[in-house]
Structure 1
């Protein structure tokens, strides 16, 4: 996996957890899913500019600059500007990768299984996650902090549990911890938010990963964030 591909994969995984979660006194997984979906419905579309810094070991930092548009559950567009010009568009069950220099387009059809995965991730489909993880919730008394814990149903030699920390006052997920099979944290993500047009959206995330022997830090700044500006469907034309 080259560095550009790795960036898109990592960013997609991070974006899965960026949506706000609503507070409930008697919290359950089902309540979180229901409130999450209600909050997500406030964001009809979103645009942002991303500045990403990737540091791995003692090597020189790698800079990535790009733009992203999202609309609904099945439309997205990512334009990479630095270090190379490339655009990736997803619209329904199709995606296209465009090399801006050569103009070459590669179109792919997303199969039903992959499409379900993408839609489930975008709206926090509780049944989808229940198929893969045993889920539970615990609270930190007095701090309005809730922890959603997911343990893989199938035992893995590498992956252990995942914890998502939820701020019950601002109703957002602020931290994600991914453990290895020996219960040691191998990836940690911290997320900062800003309220824009009535919705909390991410403005900064920092991920530190020691997975598979890596020592990597990924810092993403989301700038010029715009919500519900009425993005045209033409932006996602394939």
Structure 2
């Protein structure tokens, strides 16, 4: 069953992506650890193989069609046909609207939306052929609106509509599509947000925790647990959902 599944996790060199890749490896899947810099994937690959799993580092630009096509073909050849895809790759180019450049807008849209589209289009053929598939897209609570992130918020909201449409189109092939919308998760990206706001990260963490019902910031493993479920055999009747993993309710 799951031990024969091959998963691709994008943006898996660090942070949430690395945690998800490690978890899917421990679930018995062969994992393609994909990131822009293949060398940066080494740590995640070693963590998976060191625990007895199988993993492959893959360098690819998810926003580039030829790069994505080559990457998915390589995974199919070297690990096996991918039937699990986690679209986690993301960047931030935060700024208030009046200061935001077109390049900042396009870069964020390119990685989050174009990248998820290209990766999913390339991988879905393997899922359809297998008659089984799991797609998990990383949204964010920022989809509900967040000052200084008009590009990121729009992209993360767009991924929710993308997810629901995938669920409708691919359900007949036994392929599910769901989105995880993390809240405050302790990663390099949230550290960068604190820096942008001019707040020491420890103070930023405390401020965030005070606003979260469970009283703490999230960890990458919190997201990995949810992804593990959505990618599992038992989640076949869960599709088109957006799950907010934020330590409390979100709209």
TM-score, length-scaled by structure 2: 0.27
The structure with the largest alpha-carbon Rg is 1
TM-score, length-scaled by structure 1: 0.28
The structure carrying a bigger helix percent of its residues is: 2
The answer to which structure, 1 or 2, has the higher relative contact order (CA under 8 A, 6+ apart) is 1
The structure carrying a bigger strand percent of its residues is: 1
